[in-house]
Structure 1
Amino acid sequence: MKKVFHLWIVSCVLLLSSVVSAESDLAIEITQGIDEPTPVAIVPFAWSGSSALKENIAQIVSADLGRTGLFSMMDPTTMLSFPTQQDQIYYRDWRLSKTEFLVIGRQIPAEGTQIKVEFELYDVLKEQRLLSERVSGTQDNLRDIAHYISDMIYQKLTGIRGAFSTRIVYVTAQQYGEGKVSYRLKMADSDGARPITIRQQSEPLMSPAWARDGSKLAYVSFESGRPAIYIQYLATGKREKVQSFRGLNGAPAWSPDGNKLAIVLSKDGNPEVYVLDLRSRSLARITHHYGIDTEPSWSPDGQSIIFTSDRGGQPQIYRLQLATRQLERVTYEGNYNSRGRLTHDGRFLAMVHRGDDNVFRIAVQDLKTGRLDTLTDTYLDESPTIAPNGSIILYATQKGVKGVLGGVTLDGNVRFILPATSGDVREPAWSPYLQ
C-alpha cells in the first residue's frame, strides 16, 4: 500500500506568522484548449463512513485533468450510472456517451483517522483496466491524495509525469488606505487552492526562487529600505539574511545541489552576476562587462549559468560555462529577450520575448534546433517559470489593469488564466517535485 503524505505541507501550516486564507486566491480558467480533447469520466467515489468528507476527491481529480486542456471531463449529472466496482461497469453505456477512459473509486474508513482510497482507471474502448492503486491518508490529506491520483492518471494517459502535487509561490500587491500597499509572498497548490501567506509587509517583495529539494525559498525584500536577499525555511519559518552589499542585491537562483546562489550585485558599481557559496560564504564574480548582467539561472547539471545582458546593445540571453568561462550568446531573434528559464532536461529555453510588434510575450526556444516559437497572445508578459515536468509555463501578465498569472503549454496549444480574487499577482515560481 502506498501512503501519500507530504510532511512539508503540514510543516508549511506551522510557518511563523503565516496566515491561511479561507478561500483560494486563484482559480484557473481555460482560455484555449486543443480541438479534440480526450473524453474522460471520473465517477464520484463511494464513501462508507458515517460523516461527510471535507473534500470531494473525484471532483478535484476531474478539475485537475480538465485544466490541462487535453481532456474533456464528463459532468456527473449526465452519467447513466455510478459504478464503484469493476463488475458494475457497463462499457456499452460509456461508449454511447463517447467516453474513452473511466475512473472509479472507493473511500473506506481505516484504523484511527486513516482513510483508504482505492481507484481504478479503465480503457472503455478496449474494456481493459489500465491502473489500480490504493493510497491512504487522513481527512486533511484528501486534497493531496486527489492530486496524487491526478498525477498517476495523467502519466498513464500521456506518458508524462504529472505535476498536480507540486506547489507554486507568487507575490501579491494590494492597495489599502491612501497610497499604501500590502505585499504578500504566498504559496499554494498548483491549482491555486490552499494559499498560505509566507511573508507579509508594506515594502516590496520580489524574485522568489525554490531550492531544488523544495525545503526553502530565496527572495528579495526591501523591508530594510534597500534590497536584500533572504532565505526562508518552510518547515520552521526561519528566515536568514544573505550577505548584503551596498547597491543592488537581487535575482537569487539556486544551484541544483542547493549549496550555492547565483545573485546579481552592483557593489562594484555595475550589475554583475556572482555566485555565493552558502557553506563557506565565499563570493565569486562570474561576469565582467560594463553592460548590465542580470537574471541568472542554472543549467540542470549545474555546469553553466544563463543570464540576461545588454552587452550587445539590447537585452539578450547568454550562457557561461563555469569551468572554462566560455561565453556564448543564445538568443538572436527579436530585439529583446530576457528572464531565461530552462526546462529540466535543458533542451528548451523559456523567455520574455519582444519581436517586431514591440509587445512583450512568452516564447520558447529549442536549443537543439534553434527554433523560437511565441506562445502567448497577451501583452506585458513577464516572469516565466516552468512546471517540473516541462509541460507548462506559468507567467505574469495583465488582464485589464490588473496583474494576473497566465499559463501556456510548451507547444502553445493550451492556455489559461489564473485571475486573483484580490490584488495584483506577479512573480510566480513553480516548485520542483516534492517527493
Structure 2
Amino acid sequence: MGALGALGTTAALPALAQFRVEIAGIGATQLPIALLRFRDEENSSQPISPVIRADLERSGLFRFVDGAAQHDETGSPSFNDLRGRGADALVAGSVARLADGRFDVRYKLWDVVKGSDLGGQSLAVPAPDLRLAAHRIADAIYEKLTGEKGVFATRIAYVTKGGGRYALRVADADGEGGQVAVTSGEPIISPAWSPNGKELAYVSFESHKPVVYVQDTSTGARRQVANFRGSNSAPAWSPDGQTLAVTLSREGGSQIFLMPREGGTPRRVTQSSAIDTEPAFTPDGSALYFVSDRGGSPQIYRQPVNGGNAERVTFNGSYNISPAISPDGKTLAFVQRQGGSTFKVMTMDLASGNLTTVSDTSDDESPSFSPNGRFLIYATRTRGQEVLMTSTLDGKIRTRLLTSGQDIREPVWGPFGR
C-alpha cells in the first residue's frame, strides 16, 4: 500500500533539486518594464523581485530594462529618466519584518509613458508564503498591464518516479515549492485537479490494479471513487466539480462513464466496441472530448454527455491522443505521433481546424492548459531526462523546468484560486 500523507509530508521521499528555469524564444511584442530590487528584500528568507521577474519573463510579454536609481513604493520616480532608458512601466517595492514575525511586502506600479500611478498593494505574510506573495504581485502586474488574469500564483501537479518510488507532487506554477501529496511503490498516473483546486483525482496501482482516488490537497484525506472489476482509469472533472468522467472496463472493453464525485453508480456515455478513453469535458460541461480507436487508429472524438453520436475531431495524422481543452473552448491541445516514434504537442483551432506545432522536442506527453488559456504545460524528454515544459500556445516562448535524479511526467495545471 502507498503511504498517504497531506501536502508537506515529504519525509518519505528525497527532496527534489530546485527547479531551474530556462527560457527559449522571444515574443513578437514585449512591453519594456523596469523592475527595481525591493528595498530590504535581502533581509527576508526569500527575495521578492527575482521571483516577479522570472514570472513575467516566462510569459514572453515583457522585456526588462535598467531602472537606474534605487526606489521603493513611496514617492514619485523620475519619469523622464525612465523614459530615456526606454521603460514603459516601473515596479518598485519594499519588504519589512513585522513584530509578529511576518513580512510586510509592498509594491507599486507606474505607467512611465503617462507618468501615472497604477496602484499597488501591501501583503502581510509569514516567511513560508513570501514566494506566493511574489507570485501574486506578478499576477497583479500582469493583469494591470495586459488586461488578463495572471497564473503565476496557481499550482501544478505532476508525478515523479525515482528510487523505485512514485510520488504525486504539487508545486507552484514555476515548479518551485514542491510538496508530496501521496507516494507509493506502485505507479501513480493521471492526476486531475478539481475545479475549485481543493482536490486531486488520480489513479493508483497500490492494490495491484488501477483504482481512481480523490484526495483533499490540504488535509491529505482521500477516498476511493472507482474500484470496479477490471480497469478504472483516466479521471476528469466536470466544470461544476460534481461529476467525474472515468474510463472503466467493467462491462468488457474500455468505455467512458460518468459518476458522482463521491462515487456511486456509473452511467455509461460511450457505446462502442473499441477502446474509448482519456475524457476531457468542454468548459460548459455539455460534451466530452476523448480518444478512441474505433476508426482503426487512435483519434480524438467529441460526444454530448447526455447521449448522441460521437463526432471525429482529428484527421491529420494516424495517431492523436491526450486531448485538453482551453478554458474558452476554442483550442484543442493534444499529442500527435509523427513518423514512427516522434510525439509532439499540437494545438488545433477548433473553428478553422488549423494546426500548430507547439514543441521542438520529440517525446511529448500530457498537455494541460493554464487557467487563463495562454500557456500549456507538458512533459517531454530532452538531454536524456524527463522534464516539464511550459509554452505559449504558438510555441514561441518555451520554458524548461528542470529537476535532477527523477523522472517527471503527467503534469496538470491547477485552477485559479488558492
Same fold (TM over 0.5): yes
Specify whether residues 197 and 272 from structure 1 end up closer, same or farther in structure 2 by C-alpha distance, changes over 3 A only: same
Indicate the SS of the match to 1:28. strand
| Counterpart position of 1:159 | 147
1:286 aligns with 2:269: yes
Q: Kindly state the Cα deviation for residue 425 of structure 1 after the two structures are TM-superposed.
A: 0.7
Unaligned runs of 5+ in 1: 1-11
| Counterpart position of 2:36 | 43
Q: Where do residues 192-341 of structure 1 align in structure 2 (5 Å cutoff)? A: 192-279=175-262, 281-341=264-324
Q: Kindly state the Cα deviation for residue 88 of structure 1 after the two structures are TM-superposed.
A: 5.0
1:390 aligns with 2:381: no
Specify whether residues 64 and 21 from structure 1 end up closer, same or farther in structure 2 by C-alpha distance, changes over 3 A only: farther
Tell me, in whole angstroms, the C-alpha distance in 2 between the residues paired with 1:118 and 1:321: 48
Indicate the SS of the match to 1:360. strand
TM-score, normalising length from structure 2?
0.92
1:62 aligns with 2:53: yes
Q: Kindly state the Cα deviation for residue 383 of structure 1 after the two structures are TM-superposed.
A: 0.4
Tell me, in whole angstroms, the C-alpha distance in 1 between the residues paired with 2:205 and 2:359: 31
Indicate the SS of the match to 1:389. coil
Indicate the SS of the match to 2:43. coil
1:145 aligns with 2:129: no
Indicate the SS of the match to 1:397. strand
Tell me if the contact between 1:183 and 1:201 (Cα under 8 Å) persists in the aligned partners: yes
Per mean C-alpha deviation after superposition, the further-off stretch among 406-415 and 382-391 is: 406-415
| Counterpart position of 1:72 | 63
Corresponding letter in the other structure for 1:273:
I
Q: Kindly state the Cα deviation for residue 231 of structure 1 after the two structures are TM-superposed.
A: 1.2
Matched residue count: 414
Tell me, in whole angstroms, the C-alpha distance in 1 between the residues paired with 2:222 and 2:340: 43
| Counterpart position of 2:342 | 359
Cα RMSD of the aligned pairs, angstroms, is 2.3
Tell me if the contact between 2:143 and 2:149 (Cα under 8 Å) persists in the aligned partners: yes
1:95 aligns with 2:83: yes
Tell me, in whole angstroms, the C-alpha distance in 1 between the residues paired with 2:261 and 2:147: 37
1:31 to 12, 15, 24: 24
Tell me if the contact between 1:344 and 1:388 (Cα under 8 Å) persists in the aligned partners: yes
Indicate the SS of the match to 1:320. strand
Tell me, in whole angstroms, the C-alpha distance in 1 between the residues paired with 2:326 and 2:264: 29
Specify whether residues 280 and 237 from structure 1 end up closer, same or farther in structure 2 by C-alpha distance, changes over 3 A only: closer
Indicate the SS of the match to 1:212. coil
2:124 to 112, 131, 136: 136
| Counterpart position of 1:9 | none
Tell me if the contact between 1:18 and 1:199 (Cα under 8 Å) persists in the aligned partners: no
Deviations 1:89-108 (A, max 9, x none): 22233233322221011334
Specify whether residues 24 and 126 from structure 1 end up closer, same or farther in structure 2 by C-alpha distance, changes over 3 A only: farther
Per mean C-alpha deviation after superposition, the further-off stretch among 248-257 and 24-33 is: 24-33
TM-score, normalising length from structure 1?
0.89
Indicate the SS of the match to 1:246. coil
Tell me, in whole angstroms, the C-alpha distance in 1 between the residues paired with 2:46 and 2:384: 34
Deviations 1:176-196 (A, max 9, x none): 3xxxx2211111101111110
Corresponding letter in the other structure for 1:62:
R
1:379 to 345, 352, 362: 362
Tell me, in whole angstroms, the C-alpha distance in 1 between the residues paired with 2:189 and 2:379: 13
Per mean C-alpha deviation after superposition, the further-off stretch among 298-307 and 32-41 is: 32-41
Unaligned runs of 5+ in 2: none
Tell me if the contact between 1:110 and 1:116 (Cα under 8 Å) persists in the aligned partners: yes
